[in-house]
């Protein structure tokens, strides 16, 4: 498995065909997350899980299924419907010395908890000069593609990357989801852990009219048994290529991979995995090599994280660029219900952007 200390070389980044020293199981993303939570509850008596419907029922997406039964009601419990309260009490628990893992049922519901995240959790270490910390891992399903309408589909990651003191992590495979979540829980800073719910049960190619592929046929559903970590702040090289660099994360990793494969484009796809802190070295190395950069995210366009990526690539790789940086994103509208696939940055939008960037 890629990882270890210090900056990774390109060889290390691409070494994702994991060097597996442990036994593995095929898991979907939900099972991998559940496994990570169970392992951390077992290893660390200070880890606790709280959130709406996470207890007896095991969560609306089943991420915490069976955990209350195994670890007890004071380790895994339901909460009132109050995101402000969930995050607020988690900050207090962190000050006590616990490592809370609150679940916000949908990322779209997180806004009542923003003050507790932005002004409290993110600032606590700074304002108290390290006397108090907020080692929370806020898990939340995000993104669309499930006909969730405008309150069950949003991708608000850029709101959090804009906040100093928060780390933002987004896995795209069961293998990474488990290793990243364990790292996030052990991290002493607050981590926003957005889970792309469209790919809980299988990678999504973006071709919504094709049959759904389950995780069990995907190489990255091979999840090592037991404890392992994937370091925060390290990107994953999904495919190595020469024609262009694709910077993406979450569901769109799989869409980009499928579209590039369909088109026969020799793309180098980087799954960023952590947006803050960002793996700038991997980005620079790849763009320096290919000279072309496409940025893909599902979130709305204006002031999206793609804008930050575009600025960084332009500032740091300008003289390597042979074409303007392109962004493929969701539109600047609320996430529609009936027109979901018209909104979603799918194969047509990606394909045209790739054609454009390669024609320059």
Partner 1 sequence: MADRPDQATSKGSNKPALQLHVPEPKYRPGDKADFSYLAISEPGAQQRPDEVCHPSETIGLTQDLIRVLGDDNLPHGPWDPKLDAETLRTMLRNFAMVRAFDARMYRGQRQGKTSFYMKCTGEEATSISAAMALASDDMVFPSYRQQGILIMRGYPLVEMINQIYSNRGDKLKGRQLPIMYSSRDHSFFSISGNLATQTPQAVGWAMASAIKEGSRIAATWVGEGSTAEGDFHSACTFAAVYNAPVILNVVNNQWAISSFSGFAGAERTTFAARAMGYGIAGLRVDGNDPLAVYAAERWAADRARANGGPTLIEHFTYRAEGHSTSDDPSAYRSAHEGDEWPLGDPVNRLKKHLIALGEWDEERHAAMDLACAEEVKAATKEAEKNGILGHGLHHPFHTMFEDVFEELPWHLEEQAAQAIHEREVKWPEGRAR
Q: Which residues are catalytic?
A: 152
Q: If binding is defined by CB under 8 A, does position 98 make contact with partner 1?
A: yes
By CB under 8 A, tell whether 124 contacts partner 1: yes
Smallest separation, CB 171 to partner 1 (Å): 19
Min dist. Cβ of residue 322 to partner 1 (A): 26
Name the CA dihedral angle for 148, 107, 29, 169, rounded to a multiple of 10 degrees: 140
280 part of the interface to partner 1, by CB under 8 A: yes
Neighbours of 42 (CB within 10 A): 12
Query: Among 11, 128, 302, 303, which residue sits at the site for partner 1 (rule: CB under 8 A)?
Result: 128
* 20 Rama class: left (phi>0) / alpha (psi -120 to 50) / beta: beta
- Binding status of residue 5 toward partner 1 by CB under 8 A: no
Q: Judged by CB under 8 A, which of 3, 15, 85, 231 binds partner 1? A: 85
Q: Which two tokens stand for residue 55?
A: 């207890």
* Nearest alpha-carbon partner for 51 in 129, 137, 166: 137
C-alpha dihedral sign at 236, 241, 246, 250: negative
Considering the complex, state which of residue 80 and residue 211 has its C-beta at the smaller distance from partner 1. 80
101: which 2 tokens? 């893992």
> Which of 152, 167, 229, 234 touches partner 1 by CB under 8 A?
167
Q: Which of residues 289-328 bind partner 1 (CB under 8 A)?
A: none
Residue 40 CB, shortest distance to partner 1, in Å, is: 16
Task: Choose, by CB under 8 A, the member of 20, 38, 60, 89 that binds partner 1.
Answer: 89
Residue 100 or 179: the one with the smaller Cβ distance to partner 1 is: 100
The residue written with tokens 């803050």 in the block is 276
Alpha-helical (H) ranges within 273-339 are 280-290, 305-317
Find the part of the chain contacting partner 1 (CB under 8 A) among 128-136, 137-145, 207-215, 285-293.
128-136
- For residue 44, count other CB atoms closer than 10 A to its CB: 13
Rg (CA), the chain: 19
Residue 56 C-beta: closest distance to partner 1, Å: 15
48 binds partner 1 (CB under 8 A): yes
Q: Which of 21, 164, 338, 359 binds partner 1 (CB under 8 A)?
A: 164
Regarding 15 and contact with partner 1 (CB under 8 A), the answer is no
Cα–Cα distance between 167 and 192 in angstroms, integer? 6
The single residue among 5, 6, 19, 80 that binds partner 1, judged by CB under 8 A, is 80
Handedness of CA 83, 88, 94, 96 (dihedral sign): negative
Q: Site residues for partner 1, window 103-122 (CB under 8 A)?
A: 112, 115-116, 119-120
Query: With respect to partner 1, which residue has the nearer C-beta, 191 or 293?
Result: 191
Nearer to partner 1 (CB atom), residue 112 or residue 291:
112
* Closest distance of CB 8 from partner 1, Å: 13
Residue 97 touching partner 1 (CB under 8 A)? yes
Q: Which of 122, 82, 120, 123 is nearest to 102 (CA)?
A: 82
Cis peptide preceding 277, ω within 30 of 0: yes
Closest contact distance (angstroms) between CB of 117 and partner 1 is 11
Q: How far is the CB of 87 from partner 1 (least distance, A)?
A: 8
4 forms part of the interface with partner 1 (CB under 8 A): no
226 φ, ψ (degrees, to nearest 5)? 75, -160
338 binds partner 1 (CB under 8 A): no
Q: Which residue's entry shows tokens 């180098």?
A: 268
- Backbone phi and psi for residue 193, each to the nearest 5 degrees, phi listed first: -115, 95
Q: Measured between alpha carbons, how far is 345 from 155 in angstroms, rounded to an integer? A: 13
C-alpha to C-alpha distance for 83 and 220, rounded to whole angstroms: 32
The β-bridge relationship of strands 167-169 and 274-276 is antiparallel
Provide the binding-site residues for partner 1, judged by CB under 8 A: 48, 74-75, 79-80, 82, 84-85, 88-93, 95-98, 100, 112, 115-116, 119-120, 124-133, 164-165, 167, 187-189, 233, 276-278, 280
């Amino acid at each position: 498995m890629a990882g270890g200390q210090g900056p990774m070389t390109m060889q290390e980044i691409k070494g994702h065909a994991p060097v597996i020293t442990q036994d593995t199981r095929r898991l979907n993303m939900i099972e991998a997350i559940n496994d990570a939570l169970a392992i951390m509850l077992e290893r660390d008596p200070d880890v606790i899980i709280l959130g709406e419907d996470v207890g007896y029922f095991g969560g609306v997406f089943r991420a915490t299924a069976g955990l209350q039964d195994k670890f007890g009601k004071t380790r895994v419990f339901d909460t009132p419907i109050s995101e402000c309260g969930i995050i607020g009490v988690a900050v207090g628990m962190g000050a006590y010395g616990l490592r809370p893992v609150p679940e916000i049922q949908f990322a779209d519901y997180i806004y009542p908890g923003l003050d507790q995240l932005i002004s409290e959790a993110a600032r606590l270490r700074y304002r108290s000069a390290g006397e108090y910390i907020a080692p929370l891992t806020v898990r939340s399903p995000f993104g669309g593609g499930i006909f969730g309408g405008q309150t069950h589909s949003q991708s608000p990651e850029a709101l959090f990357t804009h906040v100093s003191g928060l780390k933002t992590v987004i896995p795209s495979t069961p293998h990474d989801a488990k290793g990243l979540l364990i790292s996030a829980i052990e991290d002493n800073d607050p981590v926003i852990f957005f889970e792309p719910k469209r790919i809980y049960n299988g990678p999504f190619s973006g071709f919504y009219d094709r049959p759904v592929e389950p995780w069990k046929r995907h190489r990255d559903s091979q999840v090592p048994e037991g404890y392992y970590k994937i370091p925060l702040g390290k990107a994953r090289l999904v495919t190595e290529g020469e024609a262009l660099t694709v910077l993406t994360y979450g569901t769109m990793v799989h869409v980009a991979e499928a579209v590039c494969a369909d088109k026969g484009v020799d793309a180098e796809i980087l799954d960023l995995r952590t947006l803050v802190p960002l793996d700038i070295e991997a980005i620079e190395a790849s763009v320096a090599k290919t000279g072309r950069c496409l940025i893909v995210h599902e979130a709305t366009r204006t002031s999206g994280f793609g804008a930050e990526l575009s600025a960084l690539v332009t500032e740091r790789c300008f003289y390597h660029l042979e074409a303007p940086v392109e962004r493929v994103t969701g539109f600047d509208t609320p996430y529609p219900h009936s027109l979901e696939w018209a909104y979603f940055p799918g194969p047509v939008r990606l394909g045209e952007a790739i054609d454009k960037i390669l024609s320059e």
